[in-house]
Amino acid sequence: MTIDISPILADKTSGSFTYTLNILKRISAFIEEHGSSLSREELFEEVHQAGRRLIKVQPNMVLVRRYNNQLISYYKRVLKAGKSDDEIRQALVEKIAELLEEMEASLKVIAHSGTKVITNFNKIMTISNSTTVRRILDEAIRQKRKFEVYVAASRPPGEGLHLAEYLAGKGVKVTVVADSQIGVVMNEMNLVLVGADRIYEEGFVNKAGTLPVSLVAEQYHVPVYLAAETTKVLKESERTIKNIEEAAAEVYSPKNSDIHVINYYYEKIPFTAIRKVICEEGVFEVQEFQSWYLGD
């Protein structure tokens, strides 16, 4: 009996917030459904290993690592508290609910702050399918702002298309742009809005293609805003950034065996490529953000 995370691993189009949300919900459901048939030690191992398996596949998703570590640390404290098995299970379910509420509260604040950079009739470019970016745009919709969104298709695996469909369903005018054609339309943009899976000393990690978008935006003097929770901060001095190669066939299946194909979903983007950072504490100039959250 093992916590099944295969549906999460099969999801190639969601960001770190959704991954974290789904793993916490899956762990909570497992505890409620199967927890009583396991010893407290066996249950601890199941919870611990579920998080470790996901972190191994998605090492750059700091939220997964951070909230999994918080849950495991809490579990260890509860084990020493002299509680019964039923009390331990209930405490864990309640802790997960608390963590989920914390995540949601941060996004709500970021969404409110993020709308300050959007004015009526803006043309906004984004890439990938960031939940944080989506929530900012949702809030702008709620405030009845009139704007257009240009979404880079983000291939592979094309998660930008999911964001485009979502926004179109909300009544937003959306244009999908091939990743190679962002320079064709960038001079029409008012701003670029991107998310992050991790923030480190010199920049952040996000969907591959974010750096080209940012550099093209700089060429056309279009401001780039990074929208992310401060819980995504993890210094590279503490843990090395890893880049895992995905299936080459998503890019190309060559007929000639001498052709080598690479496929990486994530890349580093230096802070020099962006204008400001939007987080749950407000909107910061990059140097100010670095000083507050990445300084010694």
Residue whose pair of structure tokens reads 């009390």 in the numeric block: 87
From residue 53, how far is each of 23, 68, 87, 203, 226 by CA, in Å? 11, 11, 27, 26, 28
Q: What per-residue confidence (pLDDT) applies to 290?
A: 96
Q: What per-residue confidence (pLDDT) applies to 40?
A: 93
Q: What per-residue confidence (pLDDT) applies to 100?
A: 98
3-state secondary structure (DSSP) of residue 231: helix
Radius of gyration of the chain (CA): 20
The domains found in the chain, sorted by start residue, are 6-108 (1.20.120), 110-293 (3.40.50.10470)
Q: What per-residue confidence (pLDDT) applies to 20?
A: 96
pLDDT tens sequence for the chain (296 residues):
799 999 999 999 999 999 999 999 999 999 999 999 999 999 999 999 999 999 999 999 999 999 999 999 999 999 999 899 999 999 999 999 999 999 999 999 999 999 999 999 999 999 999 999 999 999 999 999 999 999 999 999 999 999 999 999 999 999 999 999 999 999 999 999 999 999 999 999 999 999 999 999 999 999 999 999 999 999 999 999 998 899 999 999 999 999 999 999 999 999 999 999 999 999 999 999 999 999 86
Phi, psi of 85 (to 5 degrees): -60, -40
254 prior amide bond cis, ω within 30 = no
CA 132 – CA 153 distance, rounded (Å): 18
Q: What is the value of pTM for the model shown? A: 0.95
3-state secondary structure (DSSP) of residue 254: coil
